[in-house]
Amino acid sequence: MDLLTVLPLAVVMVAGPQLISAIFLAASRQPRRSSLAYLAGTALGILVPLTVWYVVFRALRHGIGGTGGRGSRHLIDWLVLGLLVVLAVLTYHRRGRSRPPRWMVRLEAPRPAFAFGLGVLLFLAMPTDEVIMATVAGTLAGHDRPWWHLLPFLALAMLLLALPLLTLVLLGDRGAAALPKLRDRANAHSWVVSELVILIFVLIVVADLA
pLDDT by 10s per residue, the chain, length 210:
567 788 888 988 887 778 888 888 887 778 888 899 999 999 999 999 999 999 999 888 777 655 555 556 667 777 877 887 887 787 777 665 545 555 555 555 678 888 899 899 889 888 888 888 998 998 898 888 999 999 999 999 999 999 888 888 877 666 566 666 666 666 556 566 666 667 766 777 677 666
Q: Which residues of 20-56 are buried (b: 16+ CB within 10 A; e: fewer)?
A: bbbbbbbbbebbebbbbbbbbbbbebbbebbeebbee
What is this structure's pTM? 0.77
User: Would you put residue 107 in left (φ > 0), alpha (ψ -120 to 50) or beta?
Assistant: beta
